[in-house]
Structure formats: C-alpha cells, structure tokens
Structure 1
Amino acid sequence: MIEALARLFPHYAFWLVTGITDATNGHVAPDNAQTFPERLYQQSDGASQYFRKSLVLFRRLFEESGVNLEDDHQRMYAAERTRPLAHWHDSPLVDAAYRISQSREYSELGEIWESREKYRADDLKRIWPTSPDDRPWVQRAKDAKEQGLSFPILGVDPRTAHQDHCDLYYVPRGPCPTRFALSVLNTSPAELTGEELERLRTWLKQLQDDDLSVFFQYLEHHGIDRELIFPWEPGTIRFAWLGMAESEIERFVNYVQKLRSSRSRETYPARAG
C-alpha cells in the first residue's frame, strides 16, 4: 500500500515513510498533514516531473529486462548488486539500463533535471530571502497599505497568521520555549523545583530516540561533568539506545538535590548566634 501511494504521489513518498519533509528538494506533505521541523507545503513542479519521469524509466527497466514483476524472488534477484571479490558487480538489469540510457526518453530526464535546477535558485530565494521584505508579495502588501487598501482574510489561524506560505521553518512570534526547554534545558540544575525534578526523572526513565543526546547536551550546557552521572567502568561499552540505568538516574537526581541544598544555604545564610 505504501509503495502504491508513493508511486501515485512521489512528492509525498519521503514523508509517507519517514514522517518528515525535505521541501527544498521536492519532498513535501499534503496540506492536511501537520509537519515538523519543516512547515513548507509548496510543491515543486520540476521535482514532481523529475520523480514521475524517473518512475516511468524505472518500470521500463524491469519490463525490458524480461523480469516477472509478479515474482518477488525473481524481482529481488534482478535488482541486487553483488560483491563476489574486491569490486561490486551490477545486477542483471544493467544491460537493459545501458540500452535505455540511449533513448530519447532517458535524455529527457536530464533536461527535466536541468530545468528543475534552473528554477531551484529562484525557489530558494523565495524560501530563504536575504530579508523578509525581499519577497514580492510583502512589498505589494506594503504598497497596498500605503494606499489605504486592505484585503481582510476570513478564517485565518491567528497562531500562524504571521508566517509566510514560503517559510521553510517555524518562525515564532517571540520567545516561546517548549515545556521541556523551559523546565530543563534553560534551567540550571540548582534552580529546578521539586516538581520539575520529578518530571525530569520520569522523562529519563522513558528516553526515546535521541533523547539521551539531548540530555548529554543539557549536562554540557550547564557545565556538569558527564562522568559524574556516567562513571567510566573498564571493559564496559555503553550504548546510547539502551537509555539510562536506574543507578545513573538516581545519581543525577542526588547530584541535583545536593546543588539545590547548597544553593538554599547560600540564599538563606544562618544567623550568627
């Protein structure tokens, strides 16, 4: 099903499989999909043409090679490169690939690529201008405002109304740290509240993907020696994807509690007898 959808909508294929986009290279998401970290939905006609022409040529490769597309074993064998000794050997498809490369249809692929790259520079100027004022519609809006003209748009989302439809990234109106950044990344360990420390402890127990790398950055940002939390043990190899051991989490929590106690004593010095 994914393969069929990707062939039908090749500009959505990357998003379908990964959940993220690469909009400047033509890999976008449908308008009704919330994307992140990129937010650009604008399709590239040049990229779409290139994807579709490539799909046509790819299918022609198998057809002209006489591969039975209904036979999974035969199809996989035909598409596999091998390395019997020191060098890679191309698959049985390579002979047909060279024959097709002499066709007019194949040369058109190069022409589409050149056309795509020609307009790519203009697209990048719109997506990533030297200044936001360089965008033509921004200047037209300014001219209209100076002339006393206005064009109200009904139903606009106030949370995103400040963004341009060609913005590649999310552009916050002002400082708006995430809950994690507010309570952890931008807060020194000594200033964490008891509630924040418990939230952090829970987060450390449920680390996913690159969360541990984020935690390492947090330690580095606040000048905490990583070996205080992750002491080096001879003969032991530690893998980040395994998350944190309970002992490491408790070591960090105890460290923070000591910092908080020390800061409390500095803030409220004992009175002289």
Structure 2
Amino acid sequence: MSIEFEIRVELVIDELVASVRALGGRGIWTKLESLTGVKRQAWKNVHERRQRPTTELVAAIGKLRPKYAFWLVTGITDAANGHIAPSTATTFPERAHLDDPWSERYFESAIEFKDQILADETKTHDDVRRALERKEVFSHWWDSELATKIYGECSSQSYSAVRKAWEKRNQERQHHLKKLFQNAESAKAHKLGVTDPRTDHQHPYFLFYESRHDDTKD
C-alpha cells in the first residue's frame, strides 16, 4: 500500500471528522462504526496514523462516500461523471470539486441494490467467487447463477430506483457540464474574503487548470 494511497484515505477521514464537528457533533468514531461495521478504534487509529488502512476500512469509505471511490483508488478525478475528491484534497489533472447530486444518488442506489443481491451469497470466499465470476463457454461469456436472481429483481422497487437515478443523472448532465466550464467572468463573483491568489482567476467549479491570462501581452 503506497504512502500516497494512505494519505488519500486520511484525507477522506479528515473530511468526515470535520463535517461532524462543524455540526457540533461528537462521537464520530462510534458513528462510523455504527454506519460501517468497522471498529471505532480502527477509524481512530488510521486518523491518528497509528495503523495502516485495512481493506475493510477502505471498502467502507467507498460505500460511505462512493463519489470519492474512483479518486481513492486511482488518485485522479472524473468530475464530469460525479467522481470527485473531498474538499481536503488537491486534485490534478482536474481541479474541480463540484458535487453531482444525481450521480451520487445513482452510486448510492446501485450499491444498495448490489448489497441486496449479494446478501445471501457472501458466506465464504468460494461462495462469493461463484457469485461474481463469469465463465467462457465455447467462446461465449456466461454469467454466474447470480444473473437469474438479478433478472428476478428487475421489477423491484430498489432496481427501479437505480434506473430512475441514472435517467435523472443523464437529464441533468448538460447542466452539470455547463458548471464545469464557467468562464473567467463568473470567477469574479467568487472573490469574497481571503482567496487563494494562485487560483482566484478561475471559477472554483472549472474543470481544468488554466494559466492566468496576462493582459500586458495583448
């Protein structure tokens, strides 16, 4: 496990802690254990750099904040599709920290459905492997027996929620993309308080880094 990866885990936990404290909340570690099943001491130890993140803790972060999961594993973001980083992290080559509520809802509903489907399939390592693995039969890929169960849930409320979230996400896509390419004029409205002079020429939601324009060279 690389130092860079471990720091990404720490940055997500930092944001979780800050969000609870901002609301005047206490008992963050107990709350995280209640939400994820990962022991409170493990969360606290990773936060305080007393232990390295476990696979269970990393998986728990992915479920708790699916919008960060892609960045957590790869170190890059894909803001156009809702894969962002916490506000505690500097990102590159993209710079935007713009939430996409419908992408987030799609991720959450898809994870909920996935957990529902796998609820009775996760007894042992072999059980999970059989549930997830496809087989090549005479040059064609066959799904596992899980496919039968999934088809049986096609009309369920939980699967309907997944599809509706995906449809709404795509309906709102152009509006979301427009925010990611706001021009320099719109950045001026955000120069309130103490801003970072290195970045205040760009709107905070602008997707890519662009150098400051030098008017003296025109």
TM-score band, normalised by the shorter chain? 0.5 to 0.7
Aligned letter for 1:162? Answer: H
Name the CA distance, whole Å, in 1 between partners of 2:107 and 2:86. 17
Distance in 2 separating the partners of 1:13 and 1:85? 36
Residue in 1 that maps onto 2:154:
101
Measured after TM superposition, the shift of residue 153 of structure 1 is 2.9
Q: What root-mean-square deviation, in Å, do the aligned CA atoms of Structure 1 and Structure 2 show?
A: 2.0
- Which aligned pairs between 1:196-211 and structure 2 lie closer than 5 A? none
CA deviation map 1:80-121 (0-9, x unaligned) = 000032211111111110011121221222211111111111
Question: Residue 60 in 1 paired to residue 103 in 2?
Answer: no
Deviations 1:56-83 (A, max 9, x none): 10011112xx31x241221112110000
Does residue 112 in structure 1 map to residue 165 in structure 2? yes
In the aligned structure 2, how far is the partner of 1:5 from the partner of 1:38? 22
* Moved >6 Å (runs of 4+): none
SS of match in other structure, 1:57 = helix
Q: 1:102-149 CA deviation, whole Å, 9 max, x = no partner?
A: 2122122221111111111111122225x555x5x76xx4xxxxxxxx
Per the alignment, residue 130 of structure 2 pairs with 77
Fraction of identical pairs, as percent? 35
**Counterparts of 1:30 and 1:152, CA distance in 2:** 21
* Residue 169 in structure 1 maps to residue 208 in structure 2: yes
Aligned with 1:14 (options 64, 67, 70)? 70
Which residue identity lines up with residue 22 of structure 1 in the other structure? Answer: D
Equivalence for 2:84: 28
- Equivalents in 2 of 1:152, 1:95: separation in Å? 55
How many residue pairs get aligned? The number is 158
Q: Distance in 2 between matches of 1:122 and 1:26?
A: 13
Amino acid in structure 2 at the alignment position of 1:160: T
The 3-state SS of whatever aligns with 1:35 is coil
Larger radius of gyration: 1
Aligned counterparts of 1:34 and 1:87: Cα–Cα separation in 2 = 44
SS at match of 1:83: strand
Gaps of 5+ in 2: 1-56
Is 1:42 paired with 2:98?
yes
Gapped runs of 5+ residues in structure 1? 142-150, 176-273
Q: Which amino acid aligns with 2:195?
A: V
TM-score (norm 1): 0.54
Q: How far off its partner does 1:174 sit?
A: 4.4
Aligned to 2:139: 86
Q: CA deviation at 1:160?
A: 1.2
